[in-house]
């Protein structure tokens, strides 16, 4: 049995079904990602699992506690890093952490020890005694991650941990998250709408669209579902069918002066393709390699890209947010 | 089963103290309004005697309990409405996701808010004493202090009730204009309410601050319109009801998105 067991979770907001019967299991120590566009139901799912919202129907067990029957049990076992900042800006970083520790009933000596430990992890020790309002966005997010870990939760929930951060800061946050897995074996559940983030950080990814999980597996397996790499050659050949003679070429599509070859491990096949072309007097003017990404997976399962979905749903999203705030 | 978590209450109180101390200018600023009422109205109407004013009490002395009541009213409602700020800046979610009972959170908020409101009112009383106001007796002071606590709790509860029902800060000004000011003017803080048209009388009797200020006058000046025991009983009753309603509304409010 996993540390999180979700069974047919549903959440309605008046006329909108934000989460539509989601089920999944997360194993202890796993890094689990929910990937999908804004408004897909990721945050709502997370809010239900962290007891901030009551589900309309369905059930979930988090760290052995039922999210409906034993909210305090769930609350004491989890940590949460929110999408929008949830810090007291008029307190210092250290005071925010101390506040958190006391709310979880931690003793003074333990608090001091843990504060040092988590601040070291996110490299904020030097700024610990400055007011949070003087922190940059990235520093605030790091402090929130530190705070989420303060009470050594069994499960840490991260809602869009790198939303709105610059590339460098994102990388650093990723490093901390990877470090977490290596040093503490905390179970992580994170939501994101960045493909690369899900790919980089998660052991398993659930692709969520319009309140439903449409695919769930390791990033690699999801990408394998899409199939092979595509090597596209720009060439003047007339008798391109000759490439079929190579047994590693699974399929070939011709469009204009380009041909696309479906192959496994494309980067290793390019030299062979070059040699073969040369031997057959085929002139190649350019080569392109495309490896399937989670974006392609998303496209495959939802028939749209995340960006298109977000553009199309932006009105609905606004609507959804104002409702959600109640 | 409701658990009261002493450490969490203490922490919420401490947070309030730290925040207040760091926003000293705001605290000083909020003392200025009752102080201005006291100084300008008090000196302007110094020689005036209003109908129904108690015998042998000059207007400025009459106004001192009123100003203290005003301070408590504004500061306590504001303290309850602080929840809105926490909502706005996301910190409420951080509090709500911890395994601390909602009741403890309410109590922590009451403890913090009332400390600030009481400190501000005592400061006004102290400044009045500096300018020659004489408190009748130690007993009188303690009676007044008891009423101050009741007023503070009542209006923090009221602020909390409003804050739980409001999504964001937009309603704040409405509460100030349509709740706080009427409560203030109907309470007899500035003038004896006996002179008000009878159509307004029911509102006067429904206003908890009416009994609060009458009790304060009894403690500080030794005169009151109603029986101080009655004041105490009614105000305590209203306080318990308002705080209970405020806590229930807070507990059942969704933190939402």
d(C-alpha B205, C-alpha A96), whole Å: 44
Q: Which two tokens stand for residue B227?
A: 């029986």
> Pick from B3, B11, B18: which is nearest to A103 by CB?
B11
> Pick from A99, A104, A321: which is nearest to B15 by CB?
A99
Interchain CB distance below 8 Å, A321 and B90: no
Question: With contact defined as beta carbons under 8 Å apart, do A259 and A272 qualify?
Answer: no
Q: Which two tokens stand for residue B174?
A: 């409405």
Q: Which of A82, A93, A102 to mutate to test the interface with B (most CBs of B within 10 A)?
A: A102
Interchain CB distance below 8 Å, A87 and B90: yes
pLDDT higher than 60, residue A61: yes
Q: In chain A, which residues have their Cβ closer than 8 Å to the Cβ of B91? A: 86-88
Interchain CB distance below 8 Å, A99 and B93: no
pLDDT of residue A303: 66
pLDDT higher than 60, residue A315: no
Question: With contact defined as beta carbons under 8 Å apart, do B185 and B105 qualify?
Answer: no
Segment B232-246 shows an average pLDDT of: 95
Give how far Cα A214 sits from Cα of A198, A302, B89, Å. Answer: 15, 8, 34
Report the predicted TM-score, pTM, of the whole model to 2 decimal places.
Answer: 0.80
Q: In chain B, which residues have their Cβ closer than 8 Å to the Cβ of A89? A: 89
Long-range contacts of A289-293 (CB under 8 A, 24+ apart): A289/A229, A289/A230, A289/A231, A289/A232, A290/A229, A290/A230, A290/A231, A290/A232, A290/A266, A291/A223, A291/A229, A291/A266, A292/A223, A292/A224, A292/A226, A292/A227, A292/A228, A292/A229, A293/A195, A293/A196, A293/A199, A293/A223
Interchain CB distance below 8 Å, B95 and A72: no
Instruction: Considering only residues B204 and A299, tell me which one the structure prediction assigns the higher pLDDT.
Output: B204
pLDDT of residue A306: 65
Lowest average pLDDT, out of A13-17, A55-59, B111-115, B124-128, goes to A13-17
Interchain CB distance below 8 Å, A91 and B97: no
Q: Which residues pair with A263 in a beta bridge?
A: A229
Interchain CB distance below 8 Å, B90 and A72: no
DSSP letter for B39, please. I
pLDDT higher than 80, residue A301: no
**Phi, psi dihedral angles at A22 (to 5 degrees):** -90, 135
**Phi, psi dihedral angles at A219 (to 5 degrees):** -55, -40
Report the gap between the CA of B97 and the closest CA in chain A (Å).
6
How sure is the predictor about A168, in pLDDT bands with cuts at 50, 70 and 90?
confident
pLDDT of residue B252: 79
Report the gap between the CA of B201 and the closest CA in chain A (Å).
37
How sure is the predictor about A321, in pLDDT bands with cuts at 50, 70 and 90?
very low
pLDDT in tens, B37-95: 888 888 888 877 777 888 778 888 899 999 999 999 999 999 999 888 888 888 998 99
**Phi, psi dihedral angles at B189 (to 5 degrees):** -70, -35
Question: With contact defined as beta carbons under 8 Å apart, do A67 and A59 qualify?
Answer: yes
pLDDT in tens, A38-47: 888 999 999 9
């Amino acid at each position: 049995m996993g540390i999180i067991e979700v069974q047919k979770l549903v959440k309605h907001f008046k006329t909108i079904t934000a989460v539509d019967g989601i089920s999944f299991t997360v194993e202890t120590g796993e890094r689990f990602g929910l990937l999908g566009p804004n408004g897909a139901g990721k945050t709502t799912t997370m809010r239900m699992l962290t007891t901030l919202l009551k589900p309309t129907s369905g059930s979930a067990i988090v760290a052995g506690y039922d999210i409906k029957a034993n909210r305090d049990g769930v609350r004491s076992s989890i940590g949460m890093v929110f999408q929008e900042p949830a810090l007291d800006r008029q307190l210092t970083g250290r005071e925010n952490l101390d506040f958190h520790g006391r709310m979880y009933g931690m003793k003074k000596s333990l608090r001091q020890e843990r504060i040092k430990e988590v601040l070291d992890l996110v490299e904020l020790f030097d700024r610990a005694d400055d007011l949070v309002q003087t922190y940059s966005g990235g520093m605030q997010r790091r402090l929130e991650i530190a705070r989420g870990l303060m009470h050594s939760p069994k499960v840490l929930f991260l809602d869009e941990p790198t939303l709105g951060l610059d590339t460098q800061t994102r990388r650093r946050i990723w490093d901390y998250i990877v470090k977490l897995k290596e040093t503490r074996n905390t179970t992580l559940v994170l939501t994101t709408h960045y493909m690369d983030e899900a790919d980089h950080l998660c052991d398993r990814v659930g692709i969520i669209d319009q309140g439903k999980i449409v695919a769930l597996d390791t990033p690699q397996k999801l990408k394998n579902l899409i199939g092979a790499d595509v090597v596209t050659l720009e060439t003047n050949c007339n008798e391109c069918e000759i490439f079929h003679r190579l047994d590693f070429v699974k399929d070939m599509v011709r469009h204009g002066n380009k041909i696309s070859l479906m192959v496994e491990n494309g980067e290793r096949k390019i030299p062979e393709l070059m040699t073969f072309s040369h031997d057959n007097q085929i002139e190649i003017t350019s080569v392109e390699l495309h490896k399937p990404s989670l974006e392609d997976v998303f496209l495959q399962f939802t028939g749209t890209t995340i960006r298109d979905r977000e553009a199309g749903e932006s009105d609905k999203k606004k609507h959804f947010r104002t409702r959600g705030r109640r | 089963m409701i658990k009261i978590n002493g450490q969490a209450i203490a922490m919420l109180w401490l947070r309030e103290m730290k925040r207040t101390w760091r926003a000293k200018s705001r605290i000083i600023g909020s003392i200025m309004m009752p102080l201005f009422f006291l100084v300008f109205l008090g000196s302007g109407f110094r020689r005036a005697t209003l109908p129904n004013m108690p015998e042998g009490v000059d207007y400025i002395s009459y106004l001192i309990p009123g100003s203290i009541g005003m301070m408590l009213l504004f500061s306590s409602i504001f303290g309850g409405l602080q929840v809105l700020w926490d909502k706005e800046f996301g910190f409420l979610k951080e509090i709500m996701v911890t395994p601390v009972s909602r009741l403890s959170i309410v109590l922590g908020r009451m403890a913090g808010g009332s400390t600030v409101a009481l400190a501000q009112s005592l400061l006004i009383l102290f400044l009045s004493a500096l300018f020659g106001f004489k408190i009748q007796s130690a007993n009188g002071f303690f009676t007044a202090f008891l009423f101050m606590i009741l007023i503070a709790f009542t209006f923090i509860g009221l602020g909390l009730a409003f804050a739980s029902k409001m999504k964001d800060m937009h309603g704040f000004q409405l509460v100030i204009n349509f709740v706080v000011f009427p409560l203030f003017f109907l309470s007899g803080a500035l003038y004896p309410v006996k002179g008000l048209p009878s159509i307004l009388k029911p509102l006067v009797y429904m206003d908890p601050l009416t009994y609060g200020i009458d009790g304060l006058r009894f403690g500080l000046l030794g005169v009151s319109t109603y029986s101080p025991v009655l004041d105490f009983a009614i105000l305590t009753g209203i306080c318990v009801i308002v705080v209970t309603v405020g806590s229930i509304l807070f507990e059942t409010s969704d933190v939402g998105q």
